[in-house]
C-alpha cells in the first residue's frame, strides 16, 4: 500500500449529455461526484496517420482516488483546476488482504 498524496480535485461525469440553461445538449455529462481529492499523472504518446497526414497526441492519465470511490468505464473524469476532461477506459482497485486499496482510473484524451 502506498500513501495517498492528492495533487488536485476531480469531478466524475456520468455518460451521456447534459442540457445547459438554453436547452442545448453539452457533451460533458452530468456530475455524479464532485471535488474528490485525486493524484493525477499524465503520459503522452504521439501518433501519425500516413493516409490522412494527421498527427495526434494521445494523452494517457492515471488517476488515483480514495478507496471506495465509485467510477465506471462509461464515465468521464474532469480535473477541476483546468477543466481537462478524459474518458475513463479502465478502473482497478488496488486492495490488499487487510486494507481497502485506492481506486486507480486510467483515462485517455486525444488531441489533434
The residue range of the domain holding 55 is 8-111
30 occurs within a structural domain: yes
58 occurs within a structural domain: yes
Model confidence, pTM: 0.73
71 occurs within a structural domain: yes
Judge whether residue 95 has pLDDT over 70: no
Burial of 76 (0-12, 13-18, 19+ CB in 10 A): buried
67-91 pLDDT tens trace: 889 999 889 999 999 998 899 999 9
Residue 62 CA: distances (Å) to CA of 46, 59, 68, 79: 17, 10, 17, 12
Amino acid at each position: 500500500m502506498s500513501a495517498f498524496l492528492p495533487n488536485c480535485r476531480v469531478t466524475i461525469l456520468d455518460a451521456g449529455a447534459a442540457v445547459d440553461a438554453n436547452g442545448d445538449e453539452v457533451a460533458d455529462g452530468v456530475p455524479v461526484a464532485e471535488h474528490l481529492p485525486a493524484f493525477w499523472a499524465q503520459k503522452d504518446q504521439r501518433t501519425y496517420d500516413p493516409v490522412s497526414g494527421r498527427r495526434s497526441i494521445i494523452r494517457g492519465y492515471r488517476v488515483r482516488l480514495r478507496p471506495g470511490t465509485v467510477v465506471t468505464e462509461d464515465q468521464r473524469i474532469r480535473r477541476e483546476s483546468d477543466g481537462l476532461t478524459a474518458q475513463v477506459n479502465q478502473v482497478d482497485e488496488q486492495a490488499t488482504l487487510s486494507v481497502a486499496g485506492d481506486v486507480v482510473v486510467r483515462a485517455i484524451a486525444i488531441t489533434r
